[in-house]
Copies of this chain bind each other. A is one copy, B any other.
Amino acid sequence: MKRIIPLVLLLIFLKPDDIRAQKPSKVRPNVILVMADDLGWGDVGFNGNPQIKTPELDKMAANSLQFTRFYAGAPVCSPTRGSCLTGRNPERYGIFFANVGHIKPQETTLAEVLKANGYATGHFGKWHLGTLSKTVRDGHRGGKANDEFSPPWENGFETCFSTEQAVPTWDPMKDQMVKTHYWTGPDRFAEDNLEGDDSRIIMDRALPFIGQSVQKKKPFLAVIWFHTPHSPVVAGPNYRAMYPGLDDNHQHYYGCITAMDEQIGRLRRELRKLGVANNTLILFASDNGPAGEGGGIDQHPGKRQQGTAGIFRGRKGSLYEGGIRVPALLEWPGRIKTHRKVSVPVTTSDYFPTILSLLDYSVPGNPRPMDGINVLPLLFTDTAQRPKPIGFKSYKQRAYTDNQFKIYSADDGIHYELYDLLNDPSELQDISEAHPMVLASMKTALDDWLSSCQKSEKGEDY
């Protein structure tokens, strides 16, 4: 604890919340949050993709809880990522879209709580929750005179290898649209081992962090946020060659996913080699649905954006299921002995309260609205019902879903559609006229929830 206490003390002064070490938890599993970038629900073998090769994820799935109704907190990148770390909805902490806003210092992150309790903490890959340099022009917003500076090392991560934003998924430092570095700390960025597959480059940094934590007998939190398969989509020649007969666009999209898959296999093997697999939980998910042509929120595939949301309607950017329902797994060999499909709705905001419950930690500081819930009690019975609906907002879209129904508005809540997701998972049939009472009560609940978010966003929680 010698090295930890001063950091904790420092945090008390920096942070309004009282983030101190709590009573030692009985279990202290290692936690690895893995996130793909723009990977569609149907882009993995374990969700039935007939072509994309993801043998390592499929093996992991066979050993995991496999979520069939897992929601990214938002239909685009930055907002979702914040929800993973804070347990709160992006509407609450004010990151409304990609490349805007930042994690405010008053927010409490999973990394801060775990670090204060003796965990080694590391972030590897895409950050997207604020700028990483006040001086160097970097990413969309870095180095500019604005208030968006909020790097991972000011949000609880001790070890960092982090970009502000997307980079090419092969040779990530070359042919960038906007110059972006891999930052390792204040005013420091990586300068070697930056060639080839970006997922491998990220894992090359994550594995030594994990190895050192194990050596020091410290539990660890590793947040591994791949850039794959976000634009610029580039696969190396070996990965493209795995898809003979496919055109360039498909080879690049499918190939970079297979390259990422390979690194997930490498990670899982390393945990076994280190003897810590049983006590490590890995949460795998995507940050939103598959991107449309060009890499953004266009609702049609095209060029190198060849992802699929399977049977679900919509893509990245949409609050229909295809934009937010993503592939997701929870592997924890010491606790989860057999594969199970979990159909209860779960979302990225649940990470924070679930992991804290598991560790028997409470959220430090003054009570503040939390959108996620501890989902552990829901994961092991078929009849589980989520006690709290999940709300979404993105530009003019709003959506709200409970165990069965979902309301959706494309025009800031003027008109609503109602879907029965159990009987109509593809959202083909708007049943709002047949069920006006269901619609009305969900609208009221959504309005209440949005009001609460707006209060938080105005700073009332701090």
Chain A residues close to B by CB (< 8 Å): 42, 45-51, 53, 55, 58, 62, 68-69, 242-247, 249-250, 308, 310-311, 339, 341, 343, 382-383, 403-404, 420, 422-423, 425
A42, B48: Cβ atoms under 8 Å?
yes
Q: A422 with B51: in contact, given A242-B382, A244-B383, A382-B242 (CB under 8 Å)?
A: yes
Chain B residues lying within 8 Å of A404, measured Cβ to Cβ, are 245
Chain B residues lying within 8 Å of A343, measured Cβ to Cβ, are 50-51
A246, B423: Cβ atoms under 8 Å?
yes
A50-B423 Cα distance, complex, nearest whole Å: 12
A341-B54 Cα distance, complex, nearest whole Å: 10
Q: How far is the CB of A321 from chain B (nearest CB, A)?
A: 10
Interface pairs A-B: 8 shortest CB-CB: A48-B48, A50-B68, A47-B48, A245-B422, A247-B423, A245-B404, A246-B422, A250-B423
- The winner among A243, A244, A341 for most chain B CB atoms within 10 A is A341
A425, B51: Cβ atoms under 8 Å?
yes
**Nearest-CB residue, chain B, relative to A62:** B62
Chain B residues lying within 8 Å of A242, measured Cβ to Cβ, are 382
**Nearest-CB residue, chain B, relative to A312:** B50
Chain B residues lying within 8 Å of A51, measured Cβ to Cβ, are 68, 343, 422, 425
A82-B392 Cα distance, complex, nearest whole Å: 52
A55-B62 Cα distance, complex, nearest whole Å: 11
A341, B53: Cβ atoms under 8 Å?
yes
A403-B245 Cα distance, complex, nearest whole Å: 9
A34-B232 Cα distance, complex, nearest whole Å: 45
Q: How far is the CB of A58 from chain B (nearest CB, A)?
A: 8
A382-B53 Cα distance, complex, nearest whole Å: 11
A58-B242 Cα distance, complex, nearest whole Å: 25
- The winner among A245, A249, A383, A404 for most chain B CB atoms within 10 A is A245
| Assembly stoichiometry (copies) | 2
- The winner among A51, A249, A382 for most chain B CB atoms within 10 A is A51
Q: How far is the CB of A390 from chain B (nearest CB, A)?
A: 16
Q: How far is the CB of A347 from chain B (nearest CB, A)?
A: 16
A244-B343 Cα distance, complex, nearest whole Å: 11
Q: How far is the CB of A379 from chain B (nearest CB, A)?
A: 16
**Nearest-CB residue, chain B, relative to A341:** B45
A438-B343 Cα distance, complex, nearest whole Å: 45
Q: How far is the CB of A20 from chain B (nearest CB, A)?
A: 42
Chain B residues lying within 8 Å of A49, measured Cβ to Cβ, are 48
A260-B69 Cα distance, complex, nearest whole Å: 24
- The winner among A49, A50, A382, A423 for most chain B CB atoms within 10 A is A50
A343-B45 Cα distance, complex, nearest whole Å: 12
A341-B243 Cα distance, complex, nearest whole Å: 14
Chain B residues lying within 8 Å of A47, measured Cβ to Cβ, are 48, 50
A122-B183 Cα distance, complex, nearest whole Å: 67
Chain B residues lying within 8 Å of A243, measured Cβ to Cβ, are 422
Chain B residues lying within 8 Å of A58, measured Cβ to Cβ, are 339
Chain B residues lying within 8 Å of A382, measured Cβ to Cβ, are 242
What are 26 inter-chain pairs, A to B, with CB distance below 8 A?
A: A42-B311, A45-B341, A46-B48, A47-B50, A48-B310, A50-B68, A50-B69, A50-B310, A50-B425, A53-B341, A55-B341, A58-B339, A62-B62, A242-B382, A243-B422, A246-B422, A246-B423, A247-B420, A247-B423, A249-B423, A250-B422, A250-B423, A308-B311, A310-B310, A310-B311, A311-B311
A409-B164 Cα distance, complex, nearest whole Å: 51
Chain B residues lying within 8 Å of A425, measured Cβ to Cβ, are 50-51
Q: How far is the CB of A248 from chain B (nearest CB, A)?
A: 10
A42-B48 Cα distance, complex, nearest whole Å: 8
Chain B residues lying within 8 Å of A48, measured Cβ to Cβ, are 42, 46-49, 310
A423-B245 Cα distance, complex, nearest whole Å: 8
A311-B41 Cα distance, complex, nearest whole Å: 12
A69-B310 Cα distance, complex, nearest whole Å: 16
A42-B243 Cα distance, complex, nearest whole Å: 23
A58-B249 Cα distance, complex, nearest whole Å: 31
A382-B434 Cα distance, complex, nearest whole Å: 51
A332-B425 Cα distance, complex, nearest whole Å: 35
A209-B425 Cα distance, complex, nearest whole Å: 41
